[in-house]
Structure 1
C-alpha cells in the first residue's frame, strides 16, 4: 500500500472509532443523568402486570386502591404490659417524626370534635333512616302509640354512643341510629388514651400510622424510611426491651424487591463476567481480545439501558436482572469474529474478516431478534421492556463486531491456538460421526421416543405469585398487623358504574342488599361502600316519604305526643316545622367528600370517568371477607346487578398467564416455521431442515425434562423456549456457515461455538438461581434448552461431500 493509502485507511479507522466513542459517551451520559436524579428503577409490582380487566375503569380502581394504600405505612408496637406498649408507641412515633423521613406520623390521635360528623348529617336527617327504622315505621300498627314508645325509649335510655344526637334535633333517635351504623370503626382497634389499641389475649398492641413524602417505589424514599425505622427500633429496644414492632406497607416490599434485585444484578453480572473472562482468556490467550469482547458487550448493554429508559421512562427490576444475564449472549458475536481472526494468516485483512463472518452472524442475529420480538408481543410491560433491552443490546453488539472490531484489529494475530483448535476438530469429527449425517434422523427418532412420555406428564401452573417473590419476614409482620387490626385483604372488590352519580349509588345499594342476603360460607361478614355514608337520592326520598306518611301526616297528634313526653312547645314546634323547611336537595357525594373526616374513605368513590367513548361515574364496594367458598356467590351477585363487575386482579393475571401460555404454543410453532423458512432460504431445503432440527429437538427434550421432573409449566417457561429457539439455533448456523466458508478451520469454529454456548449458559444459567420465580423459570428453561442445542448442533453440518456446495 502507498503511504497515501495507508494514511487514508488510518483516517477511516479513527473516524469509525470516534463515531463509536461518541455513541458510547451519549448513551453513558444519558444513563448517568437518569440515575443521578429520581431513580428510574420501577419497583411497583403492579407496574409489571398487564391491564387484565376488559374495562379500563376497573383498572383505574385497582390503581386508585394501590395509590391510596401505597403512601401509608403501619407499625404495630406490642407488649404484654399495656402501659409499656403505650409508652413505647409514643416514643417510637416521636422518633419517626424527628427523623423527617415521613410526611406525617400519627401515634397519639389529635383532638377531634366528633360532633362534626353529626353536623354534616343533621340538615339531611329526614332522609336518613336505617333499615330497621324503615321497617319499624312501615309495620307500626297504631301510629301514635308506636311513636310514643319509640320516644320513651329514646328519652329514658341512659346509653348513648359516641355519635349521640341532641333530643331537640332528633327526638326519636332515628339520626342517632343511622350514625351508629356508619362504618367508621371496622377494625378491632379501640381508642384508649388517644391511642388506637388492640388487645389480643395478654398482648396489647398500639397502632402507629405514617404517610410518606414521596412514592413508596422511589429509592430515596425507601432508603430514608428504612434508615429512620431502624434507628427508631434500636432506640425502642434499648428503652423497652419487652416491646416488639411489626411493620406493613408497600415501601417495605418495594425496598426488599429493589435490594434483592440489586444483589442479583451484582451476583449474576460479576459472576458471569468473571466466568466469561476466564473462559475467553483460556481459549484466546489474549487480554486484548478479552477487552475488545467486553467492549462490544458493554456498548450493547449501555445502549440498551439508555434506549429502554428513553422509550419506557422507567426500568423494571425484572429488566435489570435480565440485562445482567445478556452479557453471555452479546459476547457471542465477538467470539465468532475472534475465531476467524485467530485462524487468519499474518496478512490479515480486517474488512475481509468481517465480511467472511457476516453471513453467520446475520442469520444468528435474525433468529435471536425473532425470539425476542415474540416477547414484545406479550401484553406484560416487563416482557416488552426485556424485549426492547435485548434487541437493542444484541443489535448494537452485532454492529460493533461488524464495524468497530475491524477498526480495532487492523493487524493480524501474533499467535494462534492451533493445538486447541486441532483437538476441537478431532472432537467435532467424532461427535458428528456419532450423531450427524445419516445418523441424525435415527438420533432424532430416539430422542422423540424418549421424550414422548415426558410430554404426556406435563402440567401447568399459572399462579400470579410466579412473578412475585415477597419477603417471608415482611409477610409475617403484615399478617400480624392485619390480625391485630382486624382488616382483611383488599385485593378483591366490586366496581359499580353508571351514567350518573345517582345510578351508581342505587346500583351499589342493590349490590349491598344482595351481599347482606348471603349466609353461611357465602357470607362476606359485611362490606364497605360510599352508600353507607351517602344514600342514594331515591333512598333518601323514600325515607322522607316514610316519615311524611307515618310521622308527620298528623302534625297535631305528633305535637301532642312530643308535649306529653315533656318537650317544650317551642322545641316541638321547631322540630315539626323543620321537616317542611328542609325539603331541599338530598345529601350528595360531593358534600360528603368536602368533609375532612371522609378522607380515609374517599378511595371508595372513583368519580367521573371517560373511557372508550363512555362517560359516567364509578365507585368501589369492598367485601370484608373473600374466600374460595364464597367467590362464586360474589361473582353471581355482581352479574345480577347492572353495571357491577367483580375485580380480582390476582385471578385475572393468573387467567391471562394461562391464556398466553396456551397461545405461546402457537407462537412457538409459528416462530419455528419462520426460522425454518429463513434457513431454507439460506441453505436450501435439506440444509434448512438439518440446521433447524437440533433446536427443534432441544425444545422437545426440554419440555420432556419438565414433564419427567413433575415441574409445572408456566408462561415464563414457554416464553423462554422462544429464546431457546432464537439463541440455540445460532450454534448449528455457526457450524454450517463454517463448513461453507472457504478454508475455514472447523476446529476453531467448534471452539467458538462451545465458548459461545458456555458463556450463554454461564449468564442465562445464573438466572436459575434468582429469587424471582419468573426469572428462575426463565433461567432453568434457557440453560437446559441451550445445552441440548449445542450438543445437537453438529447434526446440522453438511456431509463431507457437500461442505463447500
Structure 2
C-alpha cells in the first residue's frame, strides 16, 4: 500500500513537471517570436486568397499593391492659397524631421523638362502619334501643311523639341501625348497644386522606411503625422489635412483588433469567473479552470506561430473568444468532482468524464477542421488556433487537473443542483413528456415553422463582409482622390508575353481596342473610359517603331531632292537640313527599349506599370494597364475586351473574391451536410441508432432554426454564417453529449450535470457573443450565428437523454 501511495505521489509530481515544461516551452517560444520583428500580421490583403487563374495575374496584384502600399499621401487644403502652400511646406519639413519616413516630397526638386525631350530625340524617326500616322498617309500636301503648322502655329504648351531637330513636329506631338500629367495637379512654385472651387489643395507624398504592415513603422508614422497635424492647426487654423495610404488602414485595423481582443478577453475572463464562482462557490476551481484554459490558448498561440510563421490579429480576436469553449471541459470535470463528495478519486473522475469529453472533442475538431478547407488564410489560422487550443485544454483536464485536484470537495452546491434537476424535469416534460413520439412531433413543428424563413433567406457575397475599412480614413481617401483626379481603382489589365517585345505589342493592341470603345449609354462617341496608364504609352514596341519608321521613309524620305526643296522653301538653311537628314540615316539601327526608359529618373512614378520577368513563371514577362473611370456599368465590357487580346486578362480582385465567397458559400453547405452526417454516424456508433439520432437532433434543429431566423429578420446569409454553422455543429453537439453521458453515468446527479451543461453554454455564449463587438463584419457574423445556434442547441439538449433516464427524473 505504501509503495502504491509513493508511486501515485511520484506520478503526480511527474505529471505536474511535464505540464510545466510544456507551458514554459510554449511561453519561451512565443516570447522569442515577439522579441524580434513582430509576427503580428495587419495586412488586410493577407486575409484574401489567390483568386486569379493565371499566377502572373496574381503576382501582379501583389506587386502592384506592394509598389503603391509603401507610400503615404497627404493633401493640405485651404480657401487661402497662400496658407495652403505654406502649410504644405511646413508639413513636408516636420514629417521629414520626424525620421518616420525614408523620404518626403512637398517641394519638387528642380528638374529640366528638356531632359525628357533629349531622351527621346535619338528615336524621333520611330515615334509617331496616331494622328501623325494618318496625316503622313495623306501625301505631300499634308506634309507641307504640317511643316507650315510647325513654323507658324502657336507654341506648344508643355514639352518642346527644337525646330531644327523636329521640323515637322512629330517628336513634339509624341512628347505632348505622353501621359505625364493624367491628374488635376499642376506645378506651381515647385508644389503639386489642385484647385477645386475656392479651395486649394497641395499634395505631399512620403515614402515609408519599411513595410506598411510593420507595427513599429505604423506607430512611428502615426506619431509623426499626429504631431505635424497639431502644429499645422496651431500655425494655420484654416487648413485641413487629409491622408491616405495602406499604413493608415493597417494601423487602424491593428488598433481595432487589439482593442477588441482586450475587450473580449477581459470580458470573457471576468464573466466566466463570476459565473463559475456563483455556481461552484470555489475560487480554487476557478483558478484551476483558467489554468487549463490558459494552457490551451498559450499552446494554440505557439502552434499557430510555428505552423504559419505569422499571426493575424483576426486570429487573436477570435482566439480571445475561445476561452468560453476551452473552459467547458474543466467545467464538466468539476461537476463530477463536486458530485463525488468525500468519495472523490481523481483518476476515476477523469475516467468517468473522459467518454463525454472525447465525443465532444471529436465533434468540435470536426467543425473546426472544415475551416481548414476554406481558401482564406485567416480562417485556416483560426482553425489551427482553435484545434490546438481545445485539444490541449482537453488533455489538461484528463492528465493535469487530476494531479492538482486531489482532495475531495468540502462542500457542493446541492441546493443549486436540486433546483436544476427540477427545472430539467419540467423542461423535459414540456419537450417530450414520457413518450418518444413527441420528440418527432417537436422536430416536425419546428420544421413547419422554419420553412417560410428558409424560403426568405437571401445571400450576400460582398468582399466588405471580410474587410471593414475605417470610415474616417475612407472619407479622407475620397478627398485625396478628388484632389488628385485619378481613380484609386483596384481593377486593371495584366498583359503577359514570352518577351518584353510581345508584352508591348499586346499592350498596344489593348490600347487600340480601349480607344475604340464608346459609352453606349451616353453621348455618341463618348469614350467608355476616361483614359488609361500603360508602359506602351512611353515605350512603343519595336514592331510599331519599325512601322513608323517605314511610314516616314515611304512618305517623307523617298524623294530627298523634293524634301530638300520643301525645307529650303520654308527657310531652313542647308546645314540644318543636312544635319537632320544625316540624323535620319544614322538612326536606322536605333530602337527604344524598355530598359533605357526604366533607367531614366523621371520614369520612377510610372515604373509600377512594368512588372518585368515573372517570378512565378520564369518564361513570362508582364505589365499592367490601369484604366480610369471603371464602373459597374462598363466592367463587363472591359473584361470582354481583355478576352479579345491574347495574353491579356482583366483583374478585379474585389469581384474575384466576392465570386469566390459565393462559390464557397454553396460548397460550405455541402460540407455542412457531410459534417452533419459524420456527426450522426459518430453518435450512432457511441449510442446506437436511436440514441445517436436523439443526441444529434438538437444541433440539427439549432442549425435549421438559425437559418429560419435569419430569413425572417432579413439578415443576408454569407459565407461566414455558413462557416459559423460548422462551429455550431461542433460546439452545439457537445451539450446533448454531456447531458446524455451524465445521465448514463450518474442518473441521480443529473441536476449537477444539467448545471454544468448550462454553465458551459453560458460561458461559450458569453465569449462568442462578445464577437458582436467586433468592427469586422465577418466576426460579427460568426458571433451572431454561434450565439443563436448554441442557445437553441442547449435548450434542446434534453432530447438526447435516454428514455429510461427521462422516466427516472
Find the counterpart in structure 2 of residue 309 from structure 1.
305
Decide which of 784, 788, 792 is 1:780's aligned counterpart.
784
CA distance in 2, matches of 1:44, 1:168: 54
When residues 58 and 803 of structure 1 are mapped into structure 2, their CA distance, relative to the original with a 3 A threshold, is farther
Which residue in the other structure is 1:48 paired with? 47
- Equivalent residue, structure 2, for 1:562: 567
Q: Tell me how far 1:32 sits from its aligned partner.
A: 1.8
Corresponding residue for residue 590 of structure 1: 595
2:715 match = 711
Query: Within 2, Cα distance between the matches of 1:751 and 1:801?
Result: 17
2:623 to 619, 624, 635: 619
1:701 and 2:705 matched = yes
Name which of structure 1's ranges 736-745 and 422-431 shifts more when overlaid on structure 2. Answer: 736-745
In structure 1, what is the Cα distance between the partners aligned to 2:699 and 2:235?
Answer: 65
Please report how far the alpha carbon of residue 157 of structure 1 lies from its aligned counterpart in structure 2 after TM superposition.
Answer: 3.0
Cα shift at 1:273: 0.9
The list of structure 1 runs, each at least 4 consecutive aligned residues, that deviate by more than 6 angstroms after superposition, is 801-804
1:250 is the counterpart of 2:246: yes
- Is residue 2:632 matched to residue 1:633? no
Deviations 1:255-302 (A, max 9, x none): 111111111111111111100000000111111110010011011111
Contact kept? 1:740, 1:803, Cα under 8 Å: no
Q: Which residue of 1 aligns with 2:673?
A: 669
Asked if 1:468 corresponds to 2:472, the answer is no
Q: CA RMSD in A?
A: 1.4
Q: Which residue number corresponds to residue 170 of structure 1?
A: 166
Corresponding residue number in structure 1 for 2:223: 227
Q: Are 1:134 and 2:133 counterparts?
A: yes
Contact 1:89/1:107 (8 A) holds in 2: yes
Deviation at 1:743, TM superposition (A): 5.9
Shift of 1:405: 0.4
Q: Does 1:17 align with 2:13?
A: no
Tell me, yes or no, if structure 1 residue 113 matches structure 2 residue 112. yes
Q: State the match for 1:7 in structure 2.
A: 6
Q: Secondary structure at the match of 1:210?
A: strand
CA deviation string 1:153-198 (max 9, x = no partner):
2123341333111122212111111011111111000000000000
Alignment pair present for 1:580 and 2:585: yes
Contact 1:739 1:803 in 2 (8 A): no
| CA deviations over 1:569-625 (Å, ceiling 9, x no partner) | 22211111211211115211122111121121111111122546x722111111101
List per-residue Cα deviations over 1:719-766 (Å, max 9, x = no partner): 000000000000000011112215661111101000000000000011
Structure 1: stretches of 5+ with no match in the other structure:
none
Distance 1:684 1:494 in 2: 59
CA contact (8 A) 1:702 1:785 kept: yes
Q: 1:246, 1:309 → 2: CA distance? A: 37
Q: 2:346 aligns with which of 350, 355, 363?
A: 350
2:772 aligns to what?
A: 768
Q: Distance in 2 between matches of 1:39 and 1:176?
A: 53
What secondary structure is seen at the aligned counterpart in 2 of 1:53?
A: coil
Q: 1:543 deviation in Å?
A: 0.4
- TM-score under structure 2 length normalisation: 0.97
Given candidates 595, 603, 609, the residue that maps to 2:608 is 603
Q: Could you tell me how far apart the structure 1 residues matched to 2:66 and 2:621 are?
A: 19
Alignment match of 2:796 (pick from 772, 785, 792): 792
Q: What SS does structure 1 have at the residue aligned with 2:614?
A: strand
Offset from partner CA, 1:90-134 (integer Å, 9 cap, x none): 011111111111110100001112222122211111110000001
Partner of residue 362, structure 2: 366
Quick check: 1:88–1:243 contact (8 Å CA) kept in 2? yes
CA distance in 2 between partners of 1:448 and 1:393 (Å): 35
Quick one: distance in 1 between partners of 2:624 and 2:440?
61
Tell me which of 566, 571, 575 is aligned to 2:576: 571
Give the TM-score, by structure 1 length. 0.98
What is the correspondence of 1:341-490 to structure 2 with a 5 Å cutoff? 341-436=337-432, 437-490=436-489
Shift of 1:29: 1.6
Q: Report the count of equivalent residues.
A: 799
User: Which residue of 1 is the match for residue 290 of structure 2?
Assistant: 294
Which of 631, 646, 651 aligns to 1:647? It is: 651
The 3-state SS of whatever aligns with 1:346 is: helix
Deviates more, 1:675-684 or 1:106-115: 106-115
CA distance in structure 2 between the aligned counterparts of 1:536 and 1:570, rounded to whole angstroms:
33
Are the counterparts in 2 of residues 74 and 208 from structure 1 also a CA contact under 8 Å? Answer: yes
In structure 2, distance between residues paired with 1:680 and 1:477 = 58
Unaligned regions of 5+ residues in structure 2, if any?
522-526
